[in-house]
């Protein structure tokens, strides 16, 4: 169990038992393979934050009882040294912002950035604060050594709406101004326009204004999203804020979220209509609505990036009314195949150092022999052709798994020829 070691003014310090969590596959939303969070609870105090939902088990006052994992940088350094499956570390979580006020005092996220830079490990970060600029040099070093993707959340350009629903966060304009500095340092930067609050900030005009402001600031993508209200603490808190600011909207919101779904989504009719409108605006403005392939291929190993690409393509096709069921099925088979290869690779490699080190990953041995594998991003920049051989493509394994000649040829062009899929034109370039 973590030990409580102190009580600074903005967060209670604990010692975390470990730094990194990971799933079998990278996460399609952030494109991180590993996750790591310095804080639990969030002083940004967004009225809609689903970190308040019971399913996340954050006890106490969500925005005031913030817990900080003070030993995270040391743990991260040690754990990265033992990993061999390379892929971006995602800083932050659904129940905290890495650059909330406590970070100015404690500097835990900044120290993690310096560890990632020293280890040459790629990173992704989502924040609502320009406090990220205090570590601009460290994130630039991560970008230079490997790759760094920062997503800045902007849900409204109306400062009165921001103040009511994100009372502890900085004004949206300050977040947008941070984009330029981060880009100058070599980071790729996108904007998460979510949640766009129903009847408050979800109109065509409101979204187009955010998109254009993000584009002018240099964002590479703008990802819109609607509001979810999970039944229980999250929904109750949101309604209490809404009733105070916009009492006339309480009934429309009650109707929108009357289904009480566990996921918190609103009615299908509303979601379908708004999603279609935001997609149309993205197309008109020529702005990708998901983290582009050209970016995530630098954050993940080629096979993991291909998995994310399949997931994103299925989403994009569905939004454009193209039947994506065969692609989704192939994606499931591919993910299971890749997870199986990894598991077999782990079982077949002896542990070293008294069982402390993680077994070498699937692409480790290939990276050793790659002509471009000497640098810190070993395993990410390895020869795709060698990777195909290692992963069994040359023996037809992937062709069998994908079981779709057209999709296999697509995968071959991505992996072997290094082609990039454009999310606006839906074409390889
Ligand atoms: S910044 Fe994110 S984690 Fe923090 S309160 Fe807002 S939505 Fe929740």
CB 227 within 8 A of CB 233: no
- Cα–Cα distance measured from residue 78 to residue 13, given in angstroms and rounded to the nearest whole number: 20
Residue 118 CA to ligand 1 centre (angstroms): 29
Nearest residue to 283 via CA among 318, 314, 320, 324: 320
Give the 3-state secondary structure percentages of the chain, helix then strand then coil, rounded to 5.
50, 10, 40
The Cα-based distances of 235 to 194, 245, 249, 361, 390 in angstroms read 17, 15, 14, 42, 49
Q: What pLDDT is attached to residue 344? A: 75
In the reported structure, the alpha carbon of residue 100 is separated from the centroid of ligand 1 by a whole-number distance in angstroms of 9
Calculate how far, in angstroms, residue 168's C-alpha sits from the geometric centre of ligand 1. 9
Give me the phi and psi of 316, to 5 degrees please: -65, -40
Predicted pLDDT at 235: 96
Q: Rounded to whole angstroms, how far apart are CA atoms 149 and 186?
A: 9
Q: Is the dihedral of CA 155, 156, 157, 163 positive or negative?
A: negative
Q: Judge contact between 291 and 149, C-beta under 8 A.
A: yes
Report which protein residue has its CA nearest ligand 1's atom 8.
49
Pocket of ligand 1 (CB under 6 A): 42, 44-46, 49, 51, 95-97, 128
pLDDT of 340: 83
H/E segment holding residue 6: strand 4-6
Nearest atom within ligand 1 for CA of residue 48:
7
For residue 6, how many C-alpha atoms fall within 13 Å in the half-sphere facing its CB?
10
Rounded to the nearest angstrom, the distance between the alpha carbon of 51 and the centre of ligand 1 is 7
Atom number of ligand 1 nearest to Cα 51: 8
Pocket of ligand 1, candidates 48, 97, 153, 197: which has the most ligand atoms within 8 Å of its Cβ, to mutate? 97
Q: Which two tokens stand for residue 343?
A: 């598991």
Position 14 scores a pLDDT of 94
DSSP class of residue 360?
A: P
pTM for this model (two decimals): 0.89
CA of 250 to the centre of ligand 1 (A): 22
Strand partners, 224: 193
What's the pLDDT tens digit per position in 79-121?
999 987 889 999 988 789 999 999 999 999 999 999 999 999 9
Task: Check residue 56 and give its pLDDT.
Answer: 76
Rounded to the nearest whole angstrom, what is the distance from the C-alpha of residue 39 to the centroid of ligand 1?
Answer: 11
Candidates 101, 106, 99, 115; CA nearest to 182 is 99
Nearest alpha-carbon partner for 149 in 166, 168, 126: 126
Q: What is the pLDDT of residue 416?
A: 82
Choosing from 38, 43, 44 the residue with most ligand 1 atoms within 8 A of its CB, the one to mutate for a pocket test is: 44
pLDDT tens for the chain, 429 residues long, are 333 344 455 899 999 999 999 988 999 999 999 999 999 999 999 999 998 888 777 777 888 899 999 999 999 999 999 987 889 999 988 789 999 999 999 999 999 999 999 999 999 999 999 999 999 999 999 999 999 999 999 999 999 999 999 999 999 999 999 999 999 999 999 999 999 999 999 999 999 999 999 999 999 999 999 999 999 999 999 999 999 999 999 999 999 999 999 999 999 999 999 999 999 999 999 999 999 999 999 999 989 999 999 999 999 999 889 999 999 999 999 999 888 887 777 776 655 443 334 433 444 433 333 323 333 334 444 444 455 555 556 667 888 999 999 999 999 899 888 899 999 889 998
Q: At what angle do helices 108-119 and 72-82 cross, to 10 degrees?
A: 20
Query: What does the pLDDT read at residue 85?
Result: 84
Residues 376 and 220: their CA atoms lie apart, in Å, by: 25
* Tokens 């839906």 belong to residue: 426
């Amino acid at each position: 169990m973590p030990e409580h070691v102190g009580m600074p003014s903005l967060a209670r310090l604990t010692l975390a038992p470990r730094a990194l969590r990971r799933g079998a596959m990278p996460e399609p939303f952030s494109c991180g393979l590993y996750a790591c969070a310095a804080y639990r609870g969030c002083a940004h105090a967004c009225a809609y934050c689903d970190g308040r939902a019971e399913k996340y088990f954050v006890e106490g006052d969500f925005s005031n009882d913030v817990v900080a994992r003070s030993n995270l940088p040391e743990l991260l350094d040690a754990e990265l040294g033992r990993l061999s499956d390379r892929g971006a570390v995602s800083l932050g979580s659904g129940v905290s912002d890495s650059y909330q006020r406590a970070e100015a005092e404690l500097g835990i996220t900044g120290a993690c950035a310096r560890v990632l830079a020293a280890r040459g490990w790629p990173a992704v970060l989502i924040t609502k604060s320009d406090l990220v600029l205090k570590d601009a040099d460290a994130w630039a070093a991560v970008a230079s050594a490997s790759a760094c993707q920062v997503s800045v959340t902007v849900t409204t350009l109306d400062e009165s709406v921001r103040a009511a629903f994100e009372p502890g966060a900085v004004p949206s304009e300050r977040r947008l101004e941070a984009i330029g500095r981060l880009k100058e340092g070599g980071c790729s930067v996108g904007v998460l326009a979510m949640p766009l609050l129903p009847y408050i900030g979800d109109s065509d005009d409101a979204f187009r204004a955010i998109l254009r402001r993000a584009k002018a600031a240099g964002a590479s993508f703008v990802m819109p999203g609607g509001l979810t209200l999970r039944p229980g603490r999250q929904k109750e808190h949101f309604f209490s804020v809404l009733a105070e600011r916009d009492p006339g909207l309480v009934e429309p919101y009650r109707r929108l979220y009357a289904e009480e779904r566990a996921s918190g989504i609103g009615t299908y009719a509303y979601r379908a209509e708004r999603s279609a409108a935001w997609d149309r605006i993205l197309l008109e403005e020529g702005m990708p609505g998901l983290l582009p392939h050209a970016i995530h291929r630098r954050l993940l190993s080629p096979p993991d990036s291909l998995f994310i690409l399949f997931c994103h393509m299925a989403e994009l096709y569905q939004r454009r009314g193209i039947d994506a069921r065969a692609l989704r099925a192939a994606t499931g088979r591919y993910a299971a195949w890749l997870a199986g290869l990894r598991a077999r690779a782990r079982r077949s490699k002896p542990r070293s150092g008294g069982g402390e080190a993680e077994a070498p990953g699937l692409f480790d041995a290939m990276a050793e022999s790659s002509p471009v594998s000497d640098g810190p991003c070993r395993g990410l920049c390895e020869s795709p052709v060698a990777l195909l051989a290692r992963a069994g493509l040359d023996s037809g394994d992937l062709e069998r798994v994908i079981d779709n000649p057209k999709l296999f040829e697509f995968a071959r062009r991505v992996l072997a020829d290094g082609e990039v899929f454009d999310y606006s034109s839906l074409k390889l370039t």
